Amino acid sequence: MISSKRIFGLAVMFSIICCLLAGRLVYLHLVAGPRLAIQSLGSRIQEVPVDVDRGEILDRNGVPLTNTAQHFSLAVFPTHIADVRRATAELAELTGFDAAKIAARIDRDGRPFKLKTDMDAMSARKVNARHIPGVMAVAEKVRYGYSSLAAHVVGYINAADNRGVSGIEGMYDDILRGGQPTYLVAVVDAGQQLIPGLGYKRLRLADGGGPSHVVLTIDSRTQKIVEKVMDENIVKGAVVVMRPGTGELLAMASRPGFDANNLGEYLGRGTAPLLNRAVAAYQPGSVFKLVVASAALEEGVVSPNDQFYDPGYIDINGLRFKGWDFEQGGRGKLSFAEAMAYSSNPVLIQVGTKLGAAKLIDYADRLGFGHKTKLEFDGEADGNLPTPDSVYPGDLANLAIGQGTLEATPLQIACMVATIVNDGVAVDPYIVSRLTAADGTIVKSFPASRGHRVLSRRTAGQLRTMMQAVTRVGTGQEAYVEGFGSAGKTGTAETGRSGPAGRSVNHAWFAGYAPLDNPRYVVVVFVEDGMSGGDVAAPIFREITARILAGG
């Protein structure tokens, strides 16, 4: 009779064997399953990759900015083609491809391949209706639609390896990439012939993970408005629309634009269409006078009602700095608030000189000049803010009117205006709201920054009052939005270049906010070589802002 000890030992051994077998089954099914499935493809099926699984980039309301269109390609299985000459002739007739080139590709190594044809649905149906053995038209996602929005924000990928190169595609490549390709497969026999009745199937091997989606703060409706107005009015430039209280970027666009599906057409163009001008640095011109006013008011160097005299020019160390309206004569006696409204160079240079380089540069740094924002967007420039020890009297005069070596990005200008709107509290801009799984589950959220105080509430209020005067009686009257009100500052920045007629080439700026009551939008318009902030950038600001406020 078997002892109980021996029975117990056998039971233990049996249990261990069962556990090992169960563990092996779990490993084969969950861990090694996808890999083994892929390895088995080579022996049982022929496959052509027809889509790469990549997460979507969505606007704040879930509207996709990628994968918004589809086209059709031809999947070709050479070993299934009975008559190569007839098949290539038919394909040439239907697609316009050269029959000899198709035949050479078929004869190269006999492996299945894909012909990119960008066919429409009707042409694809015609191909499939012919029932050409070994040929099928298959639908594929077009990563970037034919009229895609926010090209510089979204960026682009290297289609060869599905890796992001620029914009959100590059910044969040690890999040967006990670899925398995979708294959068009044919189940074949030992002779590599299609098994009757099984046909061709689409197959995607799940890897248990897959890519995530990136949800932006961008509002596609606002972005559409911005891009439509830009296409009508701006050859080269940028527009930024920001929610001042939170730092959310509702729109960010650059011109000229590009089609990410055909990047080769844009490489080497003199207009630099791949450059995101919203985060590139330029001389800000008189928009920088807001910084001068901020520092002078905060330090008590000046008050809005202080009186000045503008003869049309000012001499600093033997150098004459003229007002932008010098040919019309000086404006004479005017208050500091009026000097801001009329963008008086002589008065602002006086105030900047009295303030001193160290104080002015310190406040410019506080307001975000000279360093990247916390957005840290792909390709974002630092701008340039000189050091106090490099600024001599003539340099300080130039700095006070936004000229010289000073450079800033449209995004930095938007952040400065937002600080003024927020009663002196600076918030960090952000463009990514959250990351989500394929089923919509939130993986990570990016809340708005709490902000930090840069200016006193009193100074910010005085600045807003002066900015309102700019659009009511000053240089920015073309930016006033009827029914809602708006405020801001014009800027015309000399580039040091001259046009064919010898006239100075200038960049045009308008930076402002709307509506006047409970401001909801900060809008910055930059027109490269636009000549006049008041005549060119201000009307564009008005058109964009009016359409946004009116709901489209």
CATH code for the domain in which residue 254 is found = 3.40.710.10
Report, as an integer, the average pLDDT of 213-222: 97
Higher pLDDT, 147 or 304: 304
* pLDDT exceeds cutoff 70 at 226: yes
Contacts for 465 with CB less than 8 Å, ≥ 6 apart: 304, 337
DSSP, residue by residue, 59-107: -TTS-BSSS-EEEEEEEE-GGG-S-HHHHHHHHHHHH---HHHHHHHHH
- How confident is residue 282, by pLDDT bands cut at 50, 70 and 90? very high
Residue 197 confidence class, pLDDT cut points 50, 70, 90? low
Q: State the first-to-last Cα distance of the chain, in angstroms, to the nearest integer.
A: 92
Does the structure show a pLDDT above 70 at 512? Answer: yes
Radius of gyration of the chain (CA): 32
* Residue 286 shares a structural domain with residue 371: yes
Phi-psi region at 365: left, alpha or beta (left = phi > 0; alpha = psi -120 to 50): alpha
Give the least confident one: 20-29, 123-132, 461-470.
20-29
Is the model more confident about 191 or about 218? 218
The better pLDDT of the pair 230, 186 is held by 230
Same domain, 409 and 532: yes
In-domain check, residue 3: no
Is 187 part of any domain? no
Q: How does DSSP classify residue 285?
A: G
Does some domain include residue 426?
yes
DSSP code, position 430: B
Instruction: Count other Cβ atoms within 10 Å, centred on residue 281.
Output: 20
Pairing of strands 521-527, 504-514: antiparallel
Average pLDDT (336-358) is 96
List, in order, residues 6 or more apart from 408 with CB less than 8 Å away.
281, 282, 283, 284, 288, 369, 383
Do 112 and 227 lie in one domain? The reply is no
The angle at the Cα of 281, spanning 389 to 410, to the nearest 5 degrees, equals: 115
Query: In whole angstroms, what is the distance from residue 58 CA to residue 431 CA?
Result: 11
In this predicted model, which residue has the larger pLDDT, 1 or 133? 133
Residue 2 falls within a domain, yes or no?
no
CB-side neighbour CA atoms (13 Å) of 325: 14
| Alpha carbon distance 256, 238 (integer Å) | 9
**29-59, pLDDT tens digit by residue?**
655 555 555 445 445 677 766 666 788 999 9
Please, which pLDDT band fits residue 172 given cuts at 50, 70 and 90?
very high
Q: Answer yes or no: do 234 and 133 share one domain.
A: no
More confident residue, 346 or 207: 346
CATH code for position 116: 3.90.1310.10
In this structure, are 374 and 488 located in the same domain? yes
Average pLDDT value for the chain: 87
Give Cβ neighbours of residue 249 (< 8 Å, ≥ 6 apart). 217, 218, 240, 241, 242, 243, 375, 429, 430, 431
Report residue 214 as tokens.
Answer: 């990136």
Instruction: Name beta bridge partners: 430.
Output: 248
Distance CA 432, CA 212 (A): 13
Check residue 135 and give its pLDDT. 83
Lowest-pLDDT choice from 108-112, 489-493, 548-552? 108-112
Query: Once rounded to an integer, what is the mean pLDDT over residues 486-499?
Result: 91
Return d(Cα 288, Cα 294) in angstroms, integer.
10
For 148-165, what is each residue's pLDDT tens digit?
899 999 999 987 777 889
Contact between residue 417 and residue 524 where contact means Cβ atoms under 8 Å apart = yes
> Cα–Cα distance between 251 and 239 in angstroms, integer?
8
Measure the CA–CA gap between 492 and 506, rounded to whole angstroms: 6
By the 8 A CB rule, do 305 and 462 touch? no
Question: Among the three residues 126, 143, 160, which one is the final residue of a domain in this structure?
Answer: 143
pLDDT above 70: percentage of residues in the chain: 85
Amino acid at 170: G
| Token duo for residue 444 | 């990570």
Residue 315: C-alpha distances to residues 120, 310, 321, 394, 398 (Å): 68, 12, 6, 9, 12
The parent domain of residue 414 ranges over 220-549
- Same domain? 403 vs 289: yes
| Count of domains observed in the chain | 2
CA–CA distance, 345 with 349 (Å, rounded to integer): 6
Shared domain for 134 and 258, answered yes or no, is no
**Residues 427 and 539 occupy one common structural domain:** yes
> What is the 3-state secondary structure of 357-416?
HHHHHHHHHHCCCCCCCCCCCCCCCCCECCCHHHCCHHHHHHHHCCCCCCEECHHHHHHH
Judgement on whether residues 244 and 344 belong to the same structural domain of the protein: yes
Strands (E), 89-156: 113-119, 135-142
Domain presence at residue 21 = no
Per-residue confidence (pLDDT) for residue 159, from 0 to 100: 74
Confirm whether 47 is domain-assigned. Answer: no
Q: Which amino acid is at 324?
A: W
Note whether 298 and 443 are same-domain residues: yes
Question: Which of these three, 89, 115, 143, is where a domain ends?
Answer: 143
User: Is residue 32, in this structure, part of any structural domain at all?
Assistant: no
Q: Give CA–CA dist 169/178, Å, rounded.
A: 13
| 102-140 b/e (C-beta count within 10 Å ≥ 16 → b) | bbebbeeeeebeebebebeeebbeebeeeebebbbbbeb
- The Cα 229–Cα 507 span in angstroms is 18
- Which of 95, 123, 143 terminates a domain? The answer is 143
152 falls within a domain = no
| Shared domain check, 225 and 127 | no
> Do 232 and 139 sit in the same domain of this protein?
no
Structural element, H or E, at residue 539: helix 538-549
- 60-93 pLDDT, tens digit each: 999 999 977 777 888 888 878 878 888 888 888 8
